[in-house]
Structure 1
């Protein structure tokens, strides 16, 4: 179907260089669709994109539209796509970042988040160069193209779109704190790191029935630790000054951890803490990247002697996204508390810098970009 007009989109031309531009809307064929973006979440990967840290490894060298956590409504959709996805114009969806080829070994065995089948570029929303038509490949825009291979999840109309934009972080929490380690009712779970993914791990672990969920963080992140308690954590530990394993064991009443998830970025000491905190036969999930740095003092014999299962996690699968959407739609947890800041498209740079901690006094947890400014909540005398 013919689609007239243009879309407003943020274009990143170089590190720390974002512009709002007008891009032509693509025609919609029988197998694809166009999304009217309502909100797009931001995570640490967006920060690394913005700063240029990803350019050498995976980032495009030509301009691109960022944003890989979009929520929106179907603005136009082809007939076959509507039948395949079970969608119609006006339906609200969350879009997974991965854009699988559908034909490689990883895709055919259900591990589409590891897809390596595209011959020109690793395909993921928010990372595809604008030189590849139709350019609207990211959620920092008011319209986004939906490729036929997109993986989408329908969302209730009753959900606030800025809250819905936490779906990606929540899915990571489900994957890392529940699906991968096999967390069961009654388990003791320890989360090292109180960022948005760490807080999502709290929500997911408690929803899975964990009896204790203990979260660590720095004293400077006290607001995040306090939020962890609101979201279901049974205790928090300030990691300043070291001695984290001992502090965690005391907070757990002497109960060793069945599952430990390390979501702390760049800090290699948390890997050693995780190994020490886990019980014999326990599971350690490594999720926080350390910038390629080795872990000083790591002794592999500790893994053998304690019989630990150590699992790295890279991305998030379909089941975890479905469970995250169900958590959002249930509406019985204060997920809105995760979203501390919203920004409109012209303020995208400020949004990313806020999440990065480059805006003094901001105290961010999750930051969301919307096509237009979000009005403040009404005040009452």
Structure 2
């Protein structure tokens, strides 16, 4: 039986989270209640916490939910193909699924989309984020069943790994034998390593800072062939050497706020190659951006935001096969009440702690 209330961490102002007991709503025939097993923490959680995203408040953060269906309407059960007791992974986007953009296969770009964790408490029923024991699932949710035998902290990696498949494989149409260069060894960069390896990439190169030495070693363990310390090596020269002067077929740029990798990508990509930009820069301009390189090399540059169902499905299937040592990526579990600590750990604000992939594990 469902409890009457759910403890949730509510953001009331920039850099302020507080615990609240919130009512668990009655569901309609087309909705459900999810008991949160784990919620992944990513870079946008930090941006939301800092107030950079200017999301409405008060709000429950958390947009990477994994959990168990605790209550569900008959219509929702038929539509989603799940029932009470099933473990599900929840997609971040809530789109209308009927506009031209959605029908055209780009539902993640829907003009009317909402995002779990960005919907304020003032919009009924309030439990819109996964920094909570329980969460409301709206009728337009997209979800995916997952193996209940997987550890929650491993299963909840479906989101970053889904991004790896979409950004490093689907968008650039990575082919067997391609050389893939990944700028940034964070969780999305490491996820891109696994996805590119799964797609049959011939050579995978990952760059990072000197402070990223542990993550770069993880990249090798997960399938990368070469790593580059950009503070102690010339990345352009090294890539040319590793590719016999040709350059990378595919480049995936996933660094946060650093603009130099965008500039370097133009020199590192091969003639006719593809650059995928997925790391946000806070709207900072890229200095010394030479557009003629795009023209003369016929470079394809594509932006990447979010994950779609095909990426999620590939990630979940791969996690369930347990082919890769994904547990290497997971570094921290936090209790729900430790949400602020989890965010600060990811942002390297806790001395002696380095987070790659971490998650909240609510007690219920």
TM range (shorter): over 0.9
In structure 1, the partner of 2:181 is 190
2 CA distance for matches of 1:310 and 1:338?
A: 28
Give the C-alpha shift of residue 253 in structure 1: 5.3
Give the C-alpha shift of residue 242 in structure 1: 5.8
Give the C-alpha shift of residue 86 in structure 1: 0.5
Task: Confirm whether residue 14 of structure 1 aligns to residue 13 of structure 2.
Answer: yes
2 CA distance for matches of 1:4 and 1:273?
A: 54
TM-score, normalised to structure 2, is 0.97
In structure 2, the partner of 1:69 is 64
Give the C-alpha shift of residue 216 in structure 1: 0.2
Of residues 65, 73, 81 in structure 2, which corresponds to 1:78?
73
Residues 5 and 24, structure 1, Cα contact 8 Å, conserved in 2 = yes
In structure 1, the partner of 2:330 is 339
In structure 1, the partner of 2:362 is 371
1 CA distance for matches of 2:247 and 2:283?
A: 29
TM-score, normalised to structure 1, is 0.93
Please, which runs of 5 or more residues in structure 1 have no aligned partner? 374-381
Please, which runs of 5 or more residues in structure 2 have no aligned partner? none
In structure 1, the partner of 2:290 is 299
Give the C-alpha shift of residue 103 in structure 1: 2.6
Could you give the per-residue CA deviations for residues 45-67 of structure 1, whole angstroms, max 9, x where no partner exists?
Answer: 00000011111xxx11x200000
Secondary structure, counterpart of 2:114 in structure 1: coil
Residues 3 and 26, structure 1, Cα contact 8 Å, conserved in 2 = no
Give the C-alpha shift of residue 87 in structure 1: 0.2
2 CA distance for matches of 1:160 and 1:251?
A: 38
Secondary structure, counterpart of 2:94 in structure 1: coil
Task: Confirm whether residue 48 of structure 1 aligns to residue 47 of structure 2.
Answer: yes
Residues 3 and 27, structure 1, Cα contact 8 Å, conserved in 2 = no
1 CA distance for matches of 2:244 and 2:88?
A: 43
In structure 2, the partner of 1:259 is 250
Task: Confirm whether residue 108 of structure 1 aligns to residue 108 of structure 2.
Answer: no
Task: Confirm whether residue 225 of structure 1 aligns to residue 216 of structure 2.
Answer: yes
Could you give the per-residue CA deviations for residues 304-361 of structure 1, whole angstroms, max 9, x where no partner exists?
Answer: 1011111111221111111111111111111111110110111110000000111011
1 CA distance for matches of 2:275 and 2:318?
A: 24
Residues 95 and 150, structure 1, Cα contact 8 Å, conserved in 2 = yes
In structure 2, the partner of 1:328 is 319
Return structure 1 stretches of 4+ with deviation > 6 angstroms.
Answer: none
Residues 179 and 201, structure 2, Cα contact 8 Å, conserved in 1 = yes
Residues 2 and 70, structure 2, Cα contact 8 Å, conserved in 1 = no
Task: Confirm whether residue 152 of structure 1 aligns to residue 143 of structure 2.
Answer: yes
1 CA distance for matches of 2:333 and 2:242?
A: 35
1:161-310 alignment runs, 5 A limit:
161-241=152-232, 243-252=234-243, 254=245, 256-310=247-301
1 CA distance for matches of 2:286 and 2:98?
A: 37
State which drifts further: 155-164 or 210-219: 155-164
